[in-house]
Amino acid sequence: MSDQHEAARRDDILAELEAEMAHELEEHRPPAGGPAYQLVPALVTLAIGVVGAILSYGYGLGTLRRPGAGLWPLAVSLVIAVLSLVLLAVGRHLRDSEKFARASLLVLAGLATFVGLGMLIPLIGFELPAFALCVVWLRFLGGETWRSTAVVSVGTVAAFYLLFLYALSIPLPHLL
């Protein structure tokens, strides 16, 4: 019996290593989320599959001899929908998700600066919005001191100004 175990274990060195590797990565990760973290994404992908299939059907399937515009996306959508159902059935207790925490609010704040930059660049050029993004990320999201915030922000904007407008001569909306 123990010989058999020995053999099975040697067989599974690779599997064991993979487990060890997952364990190693696990240490740097936040706690896993519960069943809702599995359920909701599976429902979303199911919806993508179903909607995709309905829309594809409308584009015309054609025949296998003369495939229409909708045939391929319909096939892909059906794969998505079926696999989403499989995931709903078997995936409830997977531990591969990550809980949202208070720190996830940082992501929302970061996202807001991205959107702000996108809206302001065509209006007032890139310098001031880019400077503002640096200040927000360094001081408020990163907890840097005011001094290093100022130095890095000014330096970064200046470097990008020189890089884009002079070194690469890419036209970027700018104030100066």
Partner 1 sequence: MDVNAFLDGFAVVTEPGNLFYCLIGVLIGMLIGVLPGLGPAATMAILLPIVVTVDPVAAMIMLAGIYYGAQYGGTITSVLLRLPGEASSVVTVFDGYALAKQGKAGTALGIAAIGSFVGATISIIGLSLLAPLVASWALDFGPPEYAALALLGVLLVATIGSGHTVKAIIAAAIGLLLATFGRDSFTNTGRFTFDSLQLADGLDFVVVAMGLFGVAEILYNLEERYGKPHVPAKVANIWPSRKDLKQSSGAIGRGSVIGFVLGVLPGGGAVMSSLAAYAIEKRIAKDPSRFGRGAIEGVAAPETANNAAATSSFIPLLTLGIPANASMAMLFAGMLVLGITPGPQLVEERPDLFWGVVNSMYIGNLILLLLSIPLVGIFVRILRVRPAILAPITALITILGVYTINNSTFDIFVMIAFGVIGYLMKKTGFEPGPMVLAFVLGAILENSVRRSLLIFDGDPTGFLTRPISGTILALFLLAILLPAFNTVRRRRAATTSAPAGSDREDALR
The footprint of partner 1 on residues 90-149 (CB under 8 A) is 90-91, 94, 96-98, 100-101, 103-104, 106-107, 110-111, 113-115, 117-119, 121-122, 126, 130, 133-134, 137-138, 141-144, 148
Q: How far is the CB of 164 from partner 1 (least distance, A)?
A: 6
- Cβ closest to partner 1, residue 90 vs residue 146: 90
Closer to partner 1 by CB, 10 or 175: give it: 10
Q: C-beta of 2: minimal distance to partner 1 in Å?
A: 9
Q: Let me know: does 58 contact 82? Beta carbons within 8 Å.
A: no
Q: Which is nearer to partner 1, 30 or 146 (CB)?
A: 30
Which residues in 18-77 contact partner 1 (CB under 8 A)?
Answer: 18-25, 28, 30, 33, 37-38, 40-41, 45, 48, 52, 55-56, 59-60, 63-70, 72-73, 76-77
**Using an 8 Å Cβ cutoff, are 134 and 110 in contact?**
no
